[in-house]
Amino acid sequence: MSEADVDAPTGFDAEHAPAPDVAPALALDAAVLRSRFAELDLTAEAGAAGELRVSLPGAQAIQLLRGLHADPGPARCRLVDLTAVDRGNAVDPRFEVVYRLRVDAPEEAANGAVEEAVEETVEETVEGEASGAIVATSLRVHAGVGWNGSEREPSPGVESVVSLWPAARWLECEVRELFGIAFAGHAEPSRLLLDPGLEGFPLRKDASGHEAPGAEDAR
Amino acid sequence: MTAASRDPAEPDGTSLSESLGFPETVLEVGPMHPGLRRAMAAAGGSASFVVRLDDDRIRALEVEIGWSHRGVERQLESVAWDAARPFVSRLGYASGVLPEIAWCLAVESLAGLALPDRAIWLRMFVGELARAVDHLGRLAAVLGATGLREGEARAARLEWAAAGLLARATGRGPIEGFCRFGGVEQALPEDFGEDWAVGREALRAGLDRLDRIALASPALRDRLTGVARLDAATARAWGVTGPLLRASGVAEDVRRDRPYLGYAAVDFDVPVGETGDALDGVAVVAAELRQALAIAEHAHGVLVSLGPGPIAIAESEAEIVARGIPAGEAVATVEAATGELALLVVSDGGPRPLRVRVRAPSFFHAQVLPRRMLGERLDELLPVVALSHLVGPECDR
């Protein structure tokens, strides 16, 4: 398997090493995530089947996702899915952009050397903290995006993650197309699923389901 | 084929057509109705392509999807919980029961329903048989697209035989709804054991013959070796899953890694390819086909040993829905024939789902296609598309 991830730290680099007060943890759980990203305003709770549900404000999402993309330790993730939920006008924030991430197993995230190092720390860590915690194998990040309805699109939305995971390209296009949530820095938003003449955002709760075709089509 | 002969550029960096003064050739391929040609049908049919050619080499490919977008997610959010199933079944090409399983698992997890044993193994049996039908259709499409007509005809006959067996087992067509909340609609017919024993052996013998005359033939090997190679790192980064990811050498399978239903109790290998080229793609599909039949055989054995018993919980679907689906969120992931298919279902406790998101593996496979086709010959487009595990209704939703 090739290690083509340019963003991954190679070798020990004092400048980019994780903060020294963060103990090398074995596995990802809610407590580890909170301590890794202590500066963010996030809540994390364990869900079913090893899934960790994280929610935070949309403006901070990119910091968390960048960290999860480049994490050398247990919190290294890759993108499985990206979508949105519209909870309706009565709820604030109305929209959530949902990122589903898979936690890469240690042998996938790094190579054998790191695995050995992890094994050495097994006993200490298990005795110390995180005993009984549920190990997360996947993450679901809900990034809240508020909208006061005065503009066509919620602003600010969230930042694009295409530079982290190329798979996000079409996924972000789709959310933009169906929900009208813009992704800052997304290079080429294009129509994927809908007719070019269709106006409105069909997956918004206030969409009628019978959107009028645009003027071009009506003619 | 050597790297030099694949390279369309002349020594000074200009392309062949440029050096000869020809304009760039732009071809538009598709969209074609999925019913029209087998190669396109099993390939998902509804995608269309804009191909920019240099001589016969592809220098750029645009994939257009959305031709069969029917707003499935919106429809799922607009109907009652127990009326949503037909929309879900239609996400599959021949294996509608696989997305159906994901839908039922998600709702069952929200409603806290436990399945009777027989329902678990019935779902697995039917699911694996449906996977076999789907994979046989895929093989027929690849063989057709590479011009191996005899192989195509044989694969198509096997597909029909497997589909017949599936219809006999479920008493319905492939997208007519076999699962329900808390169980399945129907048990296997009482005399199905005989049909299965005969059908299974016929399929195995047919596969052996298909191997000899087509899949292991030099014609296919010469044609597909080294074509549209997809390396493991690229595949992962672009969200590729299922047989296409395994062809790239990554041993990931939801059934083994995050088992659902009774898969934890079944011992099976995850076949992988070496280089991720189209030939590996064919080999992985063929291996999974045999494995699907083996898992179905295992499930059938369990069903026989379980004997008679309930195939669903006593509460009917209407009663479950009338009681209310509690507010909450559930993700159910299954290994569909095309790859990792997941449903994110959000309930606010109301009569309809608040949100249903379909993670369609086809969508990701369509997105990575231009990268795989760069520098390939135009001839290879159809076989590679056929092998890309694209299903139009699933991709476009």
Which of A64-73, A122-131, B360-369 bottoms out in mean pLDDT, i.e. has the lowest?
A122-131
Residue of chain B with shortest Cα separation from A170: B367
Among A79, A80, A99, A188, the strongest candidate for a mutation testing the B interface, having the largest count of B CBs within 10 A, is: A80
How large is the ipTM? 0.85
CA B258 vs. chain centroid, Å, equals 18
Please, are residues B36 and B392 in contact by the beta-carbon 8 Å criterion?
no
Q: What is the pLDDT of residue B40?
A: 53
Which range, of A124-133, A200-209, B344-353, averages the lowest pLDDT?
A: A124-133
Are the beta carbons of B180 and B277 closer than 8 angstroms?
Answer: no
Residue in B117, B156, B139, B124 with CA at minimum distance from that of residue B297: B124
In this predicted structure, what is the pLDDT of residue B45? 59
Chain B residues lying within 8 Å of A193, measured CB to CB: 65-66, 69, 396-397
Answer whether residue A141 shows pLDDT above 50.
Answer: yes
Task: Label residue A149 by pLDDT band (50, 70, 90).
Answer: low
User: How far does the CA of residue B232 sit from the closest CA of chain A (Å)?
Assistant: 6
- Predicted confidence at residue A17, as pLDDT, reads 44
> How many angstroms separate the CA atoms of B64 and A193, rounded?
9
Position A113 pLDDT exceeds 80: no
**Phi, psi (5° rounding) for residue A43?**
-115, 140
C-beta separation of B30 from B360 below 8 A: no
| For testing contact with chain A, the best of B72, B246, B331, B356 (most A CBs within 10 A) | B331
CA A65 to chain centre: 5
Q: Please list every residue in chain B whose beta carbon sits closer than 8 Å to the beta carbon of residue A194.
A: 66, 69
* Closest chain A residue to the Cα of B74, Cα to Cα: A203
- Average pLDDT over chain A reads 71
* Burial call B48-72: b when 16+ CB within 10 Å, e when fewer: bbebebbeebbbebebbbbbbbebb
C-alpha angle with apex B334: B308 to A47, nearest 5 degrees?
100
Helix (H) / strand (E) element for B335: namely strand B328-335
pLDDT value, residue A189: 67
> CA-to-CA distance for B29 and B34, rounded, in angstroms?
14
pLDDT score recorded for residue A71: 76
pLDDT tens series, chain B, 397 aa: 333 344 444 555 566 666 777 777 888 887 776 555 555 555 555 778 888 888 788 888 888 888 888 888 988 988 889 888 888 888 876 788 999 999 999 999 999 999 999 999 999 999 999 999 989 988 988 898 888 888 889 999 999 999 999 999 988 877 678 899 989 988 899 889 999 999 999 999 999 999 888 888 888 888 888 888 899 888 988 999 999 999 999 888 999 988 899 999 998 888 999 888 999 999 999 999 999 999 999 999 999 998 888 988 888 888 999 998 999 999 999 999 999 999 999 999 888 999 999 999 999 998 998 988 888 888 888 888 888 888 878 888 8
pLDDT of residue B6: 41
Mean pLDDT lowest for which of A58-67, A181-190, B154-163, B364-373? Answer: A181-190
pLDDT for position A218: 39
Contact A1 B232 (CB under 8 A): yes
For residue A45, name the pLDDT band (cuts at 50, 70, 90): confident
Q: How many residues does the structure list for chain B?
A: 397
Which residues of A make CB contacts under 8 Å with B? 1-5, 47-51, 53, 78-81, 83, 85-87, 98, 100, 137, 140, 165-167, 169-170, 178, 191-194, 202-203, 207, 209
Chain A residues in contact with B233 (beta carbon < 8 A): 1-5
Residue A15: CB atoms within 10 Å: 5
Tokens 């479920």: give the residue: B170
Residue with more model confidence, A129 or B129: B129
**B179, β-bridge pairs:** B184
- Interface probe for B, chosen from A107, A138, A193 (most Cβ of B below 10 Å), is A193
pLDDT grade, residue A205 (50/70/90)? confident
Q: Are strands A43-46 and A51-57 parallel, antiparallel or unpaired?
A: antiparallel
Which DSSP string corresponds to chain A? -----TTS--S--TTTSPPTTS---SS--HHHHHHHTTTS--EEEE-GGGEEEEEEEHHHHHHHHHHHHH-SSTT-EEEEEEEEEE--TTSSS-EEEEEEEEEPPHHHHS-HHHHHHHHHHHHHHHHHS-TTPPPPSEEEEEEEE---SSSSS-SS-EE--TTT-TTHHHHHHHHHHHH---EET-S-----SS-TTB-S-TTSTT--S-PPBPHHHH-
pTM: 0.83
Whole-number Cα distances in Å, B162 to A55, A82, B39: 46, 36, 19
DSSP structure string for B106-158: HHHHHHT----HHHHHHHHHHHHHHHHHHHHHHHHHHHHHTT-HHHHHHHHHH
Report the chain B residue with the minimal C-alpha distance to residue A139.
Answer: B331
Contacts of A78 in chain B (CB under 8 A): 236-237
Judged by CB atoms closer than 8 Å, whether chains meet at B346 and A86 is answered as: no
